[in-house]
């Protein structure tokens, strides 16, 4: 991460104007500009038991539970190989000191995941996407950032883009957040995913923002975070105007074990939908003119062990259980009932910011009909942070 100090100079006209009126010029503002990121190569061999997903699927770039096919083992099914540098990332921060003694900070962060672009046949020219863009002032945050309901610090170190995908709260979105001491509160952009006639429908009908409260406790032994979420699920189409309340609680943290650590998360709620497992389960299913919220329990545990100053490993178990209404599941297709994954990696850093790694992942997804499917993936990565 690099820092540049910029000095904002008053224009000649502004200085002359100040002198003409006998005013005294204030001290010049100083803005610290920080930039950084990383370049990362990912190479993966993926073996899907129930048939390989298409090369354009997001599940070929990183682990997305809902993309794992289910059904009988496919005949003549071979592993597929993919390679990309789409996770490479860049951020740009500013920190401006004000005359009041307070600071205004900004952040803009980009990468190339989950975007369109050139085909692999010729150019691989992927479009950059906005990850984060926000301003902070006096405890307030305005813009797009990690959801207040999520604890990014609890995510284990994995080669996969997310890692314990089905077991973690994972969301970036526009919000207004206020932080005071150990507490933070947010009003965030609402969006619902509802199952209608067997299809996922994304609705933007909510009349209030998603609301979150979070308490963070830091200690010598590690960190503990408790977060709560309350939101409105709403489907307003044609002559149907259905509303349901969604809520959830997430407990997560990190326990230091000398040089090693244990990270964890457990989340329980009703109608959490897109907040958990990259939307492995929808928030609700439309039952006639009413919404039936889908309960879910998810979590993960990850242990990191340092073999030496340059070699380390992370072992992760992750799960999600969705409590679908069986009667509605029979009518509206066969939604995801459960998803689990195990992963283990070996990382080598010959230099502080240069890391080579290999990771193995086994995952299973089961739907309400009882059909299931497995994913076995071997991944190699090379990453340099700057």
Highest mean pLDDT among 8-12, 35-39, 98-102: 35-39
Interstrand relation of 89-97 and 80-84 (parallel, antiparallel or unpaired): unpaired
Tell me, what's the pLDDT at 326? 77
DSSP 20-80: HTTPPPPPPPEEEEEEEEEEEEEEEEEEETT-PPPTTSGGGTS--GGGS--SSPPTT---E
Q: How confident is the model at residue 14 (pLDDT cuts 50, 70, 90)?
A: very low
pLDDT digits (tens, 9 = 90+) for 229-275: 999 999 998 889 999 999 999 999 999 999 999 999 999 999 999 99
Region of poorest pLDDT, from 9-13, 158-162, 379-383:
9-13
Q: Is residue 16 scored above 90 in pLDDT?
A: no
pLDDT category, 13, cuts 50, 70, 90? very low
Which residues touch 43 (CB under 8 Å, ≥6 apart)? 81, 82, 83, 379, 380, 381
Closest by CA position to 280, among listed 48, 65, 59? 65
> pLDDT tens for residues 296-331?
999 999 999 999 999 999 999 999 999 998 777 766
Residue 19 is predicted with a pLDDT of 33
Dihedral angle sign, alpha carbons of residues 94, 97, 100, 101:
positive
Q: What is the mean pLDDT of residues 145-151?
A: 98
* pLDDT at site 7: 45
pLDDT at 323: 95
- The mean pLDDT value of the chain amounts to 91
Q: Where are the beta strands (DSSP E) in 220-328?
A: 222-237, 240-257, 260-270, 284-287, 290-293, 295-306, 311-323
pLDDT for res 3: 57
The alpha carbon of 39 is separated from its chain's Cα centroid by a whole number of angstroms, namely 19
**pLDDT at residue 78 greater than cutoff 60:** yes
Per the model's pLDDT, the better-predicted residue between 238 and 79 turns out to be: 79
């Amino acid at each position: 991460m690099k820092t540049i100090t910029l000095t904002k100079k008053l224009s000649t006209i502004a200085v002359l104007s100040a002198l003409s009126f006998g005013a005294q010029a204030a001290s010049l503002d100083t803005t610290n500009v920080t930039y950084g990121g990383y370049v990362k190569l990912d190479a993966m061999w993926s073996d899907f038991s129930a048939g390989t997903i298409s090369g354009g699927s997001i599940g070929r770039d990183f682990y997305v539970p809902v993309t794992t096919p289910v059904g009988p083992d496919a005949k003549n099914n071979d592993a597929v190989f993919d390679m990309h540098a789409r996770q490479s990332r860049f951020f740009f921060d500013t920190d401006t000191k004000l005359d009041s003694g307070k600071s205004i900070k900004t952040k803009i962060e980009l990468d190339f995941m989950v975007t369109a672009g050139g085909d692999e046949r010729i150019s691989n020219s992927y479009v950059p996407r906005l990850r984060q863009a926000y301003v902070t002032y006096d405890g307030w945050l305005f813009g797009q950032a990690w959801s207040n309901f999520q604890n990014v610090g609890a995510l284990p170190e994995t080669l996969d883009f997310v890692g314990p995908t089905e077991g973690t709260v994972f969301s970036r979105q526009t919000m207004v957040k206020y932080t005071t001491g150990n507490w933070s509160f947010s009003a965030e952009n609402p969006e619902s995913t509802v199952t209608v006639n067997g299809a996922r429908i994304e609705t933007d009908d909510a009349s209030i923002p998603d609301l979150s409260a979070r308490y963070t406790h830091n200690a010598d032994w590690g960190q503990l975070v408790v977060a709560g979420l309350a939101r409105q699920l709403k489907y307003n189409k044609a002559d149907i105007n259905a509303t349901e309340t969604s809520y959830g609680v997430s407990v997560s943290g990190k326990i230091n074990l000398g040089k090693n650590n244990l990270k964890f998360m457990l989340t329980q709620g009703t109608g959490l939908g897109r907040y958990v497992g990259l939307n492995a389960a929808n928030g609700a299913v439309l039952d006639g003119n009413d919404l039936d919220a889908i309960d879910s329990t998810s979590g993960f545990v990850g242990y990191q062990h340092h073999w030496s100053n340059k070699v380390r490993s992370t072992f992760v178990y992750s799960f999600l259980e969705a409590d679908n209404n069986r009667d509605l599941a029979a009518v509206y297709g066969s939604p995801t009932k459960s998803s689990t994954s195990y992963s283990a990696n070996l990382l080598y850093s010959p230099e502080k910011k240069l890391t080579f790694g290999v990771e193995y992942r086994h995952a299973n997804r089961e739907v309400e009909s009882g059909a299931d499917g497995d994913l076995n993936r071997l991944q190699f990565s090379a990453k340099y942070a700057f």
